[in-house]
C-alpha cells in the first residue's frame, strides 16, 4: 500500500513541486495551503492531489487538519514542513506583528505539525520528516532577521528531534535551498537578478523547484534510512556549510 505524505504549503512554488514529485514516486499526497483558494483549486485540478486548508501556525487547526487527512488517506508516514512566509524589513523598523507572523508560520508550524504525527510514526516504527529551511537560515540575511531566525531554528529543531526518534525508525532531516526559480524570485527585476544575485551563485543560474523536490523525495524514501539530523544544501555553491 502506498505511503501517505503530507506537504504543508504544498500547492505553490517549491511545495507544489514537492507534492507532485512525491505523487510521481508513488505516495498518496495531501497538500495544505493557507489562503489562496484559486491557486489550490487549480493545483488540485491539474494534479489530482488532495488539498486541505488550515493555518499551520495554529496547533488546534493542525490537529484537526491532520486528523482529516488521516481519515481520508491513512496514517501520515511522511511529513514535509514546507509552509513559509516572509515579512521582510530591517530590525529597527520591524513590527512585533511582522516578527510573530513569520515565526508562527515558519517555526511554530514545525511543532504544530510534527507533534501531531510523531506519536503515530513512533508506534508504527517508521517515519520520515523533512523540513525546508533556507540558505538565509544558515548564513543570515540583512532585512530578514525574522525569517533567518525561523529557518535557523528549524535546523536546530531537526537535529534535536532526529536524536529523539532515530531508534524508533523515524528520520528527521532538513533541506536548505538557495535562490530557486519560483514565481516570487523570477519577479525580481532582471537587472537585479543578473547583477546582484546570479554572480553570487557559482553554477551561474537559479535552481529549479524540481531540484529541491528530488532531494525531498530521496530523504523521504526507505533508502535514506541511515540519514538523520542532516541539512542538505541546494544552493548552487553559493554557501557551503
Kindly state the helix (H) or strand (E) to which residue 34 belongs, with its residue range.
Answer: none
Residue 147 is a catalytic residue:
yes
Distance, CA of 166 to CA of 225 (rounded, Å): 9
What does the angle CA 227 – CA 83 – CA 145 come to, to the nearest 5 degrees? 95
Distance CA 14, CA 214 (A): 11
The active-site residue, picked from 52, 126, 147, 179, is 147
The per-residue b/e assignment along 63-99, b for 16 or more CB within 10 angstroms, e otherwise, is: eebbeebbeebeebbbbbbbbbbbbeeeeeebeeebb
| Catalytic residue numbers, as ranges | 147
Amino acid at each position: 500500500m502506498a505511503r501517505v505524505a503530507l506537504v504543508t504549503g504544498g500547492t505553490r512554488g517549491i511545495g507544489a513541486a514537492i507534492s507532485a514529485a512525491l505523487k510521481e514516486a508513488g505516495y498518496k499526497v495531501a497538500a495544505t495551503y493557507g489562503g489562496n483558494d484559486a491557486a489550490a483549486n487549480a493545483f488540485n485540478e491539474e494534479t489530482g492531489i488532495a488539498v486541505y486548508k488550515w493555518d499551520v501556525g495554529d496547533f488546534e487547526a493542525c490537529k484537526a487538519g491532520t486528523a482529516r487527512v488521516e481519515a481520508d488517506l491513512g496514517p501520515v508516514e511522511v511529513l514535509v514542513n514546507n509552509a513559509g512566509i516572509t515579512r521582510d524589513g530591517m530590525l529597527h523598523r520591524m513590527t512585533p506583528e511582522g516578527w510573530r507572523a513569520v515565526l508562527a508560520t515558519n517555526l511554530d508550524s514545525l511543532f504544530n505539525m510534527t507533534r501531531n504525527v510523531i506519536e503515530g510514526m513512533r508506534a508504527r516504527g517508521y517515519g520520515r520528516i523533512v523540513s525546508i529551511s533556507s540558505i538565509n537560515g544558515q548564513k543570515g540575511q540583512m532585512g530578514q532577521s525574522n525569517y533567518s531566525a525561523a529557518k535557523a531554528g528549524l535546523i536546530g529543531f531537526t537535529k534535536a528531534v532526529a536524536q529523539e526518534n532515530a531508534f524508533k525508525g523515524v528520520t528527521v532531516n532538513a533541506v536548505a535551498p538557495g535562490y530557486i526559480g519560483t514565481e516570487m524570485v523570477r519577479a525580481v527585476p532582471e537587472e537585479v537578478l543578473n547583477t546582484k544575485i546570479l554572480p553570487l551563485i557559482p553554477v551561474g543560474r537559479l535552481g529549479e523547484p524540481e531540484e529541491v523536490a528530488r532531494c525531498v523525495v530521496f530523504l523521504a524514501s526507505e533508502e535514506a534510512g541511515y540519514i538523520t539530523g542532516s541539512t542538505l544544501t541546494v544552493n548552487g555553491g553559493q554557501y557551503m556549510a
